[in-house]
Each structure stands twice: as structure tokens, then as C-alpha cells.
Amino acid sequence: MLTGIKLFDMRFNVLTIFPEIFNVLEYGVISKTFDNNNSIKCYDIRKNAINKHGQIDGKLYGGGEGMLMMPQPLKDTLFEIPESERGHVVYLSPQGTRLTQDKIIDLSSMQALTILCGRYEGVDQRFIDKYVDEEISVGDFVMSGGEYPAICLIDAIARNLPGTVGNEDSVKNDSFSNGLLKGPAYTRPEIFEDDQVPDVLLSGNHSRISEWKANKSLIQTYLRRPDLINKVKLTKKQKKLLEELESKDIL
Ligand SMILES: C[S@@+](CC[C@H](N)C(=O)[O-])C[C@H]1O[C@@H](n2cnc3c(N)ncnc32)[C@H](O)[C@@H]1O
């Protein structure tokens, strides 16, 4: 868990052939991250092409469809960043470890992160072996480039950096922060198309409300992501609720 104490400003370096894609980070709460002395800098891999045609990719040895990013332009781009400012080097890749909130929290405590966005069929293995510290996947599907996965990563990390989200409690109470999903939430009006906001939320009784929220969170997780339940150390109360749910079929 983040302590809320931040001793340094975080630096993101991004290696990409499409730096303009990262302009989306200028929108919403995430834009505040970079007003708060954290920094993001994109390095254009194409500037280190092997010829005047801007070539950075080559055919695969041994055959196979498509093209692969060549190691030399990647190395030259990485070396534009002083070694002391590179920090942890991540390659976004479908072969990486699946991204989780725990990993986001880990990465949020780093001083610098260098993120490589692949394109085409990916990246020459020799570059990965030599210069990449960790491969991360955003899910079991294949995207056409690492830029959007990188934006997912940066956005999720930035949310945890103090000062990005106005109310730090909202980050602390996010889904996954205690291993569970968040339960349902309601806003005005009290009645929408005959559906009423649950009475307890209008009761003003804070302990009943927080018990209701905790129970709903557990139920939501049990129904939608039972795999998460097994990873959480449940309290006696939670175990009892789950047993009731299973036995009385009150879902
Ligand atoms: C078209 S993909 C290459 C897929 C590769 N041929 C394969 O089957 O694993 C091009 C780039 O998109 C990025 N990418 C695609 N899917 C991703 C995922 N699930 N997580 C992270 N990055 C991904 C990677 O940077 C990858 O190098």
C-alpha cells in the first residue's frame, strides 16, 4: 500500500514510434500528475532509424509473418536517456506478466520508469535480454502496439501518485486495493425510472452504511471474480457472509 508520503518526483521515459499518442495524458485527473513535478518524456525510436527511409524493422530470421523491431535503433534510443534517469525498464508485451494493482503499487514507488512500446511483430529478443528488466502484459489479448498498454500503465500508476487524485481516500477505496471489487454505487435522483436508491444509503447511519458497502463489495467479487476471493484473507464476518450466501442462495 502507498503511504501517501512521496520523497521524490517520478519520471516516465517512453520509447515509441508514435510520441503524439501520449498527448491523451493531457486530459482528466492524470494531467495533474505532470503539473505536480512528475515528468514524462517520449523518445522517438524512428529518429534512430538505420537509413534515411526511417527503417527500424526487419524481416524475421527463420521466416514468419511480419516485421520485427531491430535492436540497434532501440538501443540508440534507450541510450539517449542518461543511465541514472532510466530506472526500471519495462517492455509492454503479450508475453509479459499480467498487470495487477499490486504491480501498479510496486511501480508507483519507483523514481524512474522507462517504457518500451513495441510495434509490428514485436522486438528482437536480444534487446529484451540485454536491456529490459521486466515484460508486462495488459491482458490476454493482442493489440497493434504498446502505446495504449503504456498509457494504461502510466494512468494507473499516476492515480497512485500523491496529488493526482484530489481525494486520496478514493484511491485507497478503489477496487483491488483490499483485494476485492467495489460494490454498486448510486447518485441523484433518489428514484430513477421507479428504481429507488437502497434505503440504508439514505439513512445517515455511517456504521450501517459502511457494513452494507463492505458486504456488497464481497458479494460483487464473489459473483464476478470468485478467483479474487481465494487470494484475500477474509475476516470471520466475511467468511460467515459467504457461507450464508452459498447455503441460503440469497443472491
Ligand atoms: C501486434 S503486437 C505483437 C504481437 C506478437 N506477434 C505476439 O503474438 O505476441 C505489437 C506490440 O503491441 C504491444 N502489445 C500487444 N498486445 C499487448 C498486451 N496484451 N500487453 C502489452 N503490450 C501489448 C507489444 O508492445 C507488442 O510488441
For the stretch 131-162, pLDDT in tens is 999 999 999 999 999 999 999 999 999 999 98
**Stretch among 56-65, 162-171, 223-232 having the lowest mean pLDDT:** 162-171
Whether the pLDDT of residue 122 is over 70: the answer is yes
- Residue 62: what residue type? G
| Closest residue CA from atom 4 of ligand 1 | 121
**Ligand 1 contact, 141 CB (< 6 A):** yes
**Ligand 1 contact, 250 CB (< 6 A):** no
Whole-number pLDDT of residue 5: 45
Number of H helices, E strands in the chain: 9, 9
**Ligand 1 contact, 144 CB (< 6 A):** yes
Q: In the CATH scheme, what is the code of domain 11-168? A: 3.40.1280.10
Burial of 236 (0-12, 13-18, 19+ CB in 10 A): exposed
Whether the pLDDT of residue 248 is over 50: the answer is yes
As a whole number of angstroms, the distance between CA 36 and CA 113 comes to 17
Q: What is the average pLDDT value for the chain, to the nearest integer?
A: 93
Task: Specify the ligand 1 atom closest to the Cα of 122.
Answer: 27
- The closest of 222, 134, 209, 241 to 179, measured between CA atoms, is 222
Q: What average pLDDT does range 235-246 have in this prediction? A: 91
**Ligand 1 contact, 94 CB (< 6 A):** yes
**Annotation: CATH topology of 191-248:** Trp Operon Repressor; Chain A (1.10.1270)
List where CATH 1.10.1270.20 sits in the chain: 191-248
Task: Specify the ligand 1 atom closest to the Cα of 145.
Answer: 12
- The closest of 110, 112, 154 to 136, measured between CA atoms, is 154
| Closest residue CA from atom 6 of ligand 1 | 121
As a whole number of angstroms, the distance between CA 33 and CA 39 comes to 8
pTM reported for the whole predicted model? 0.93
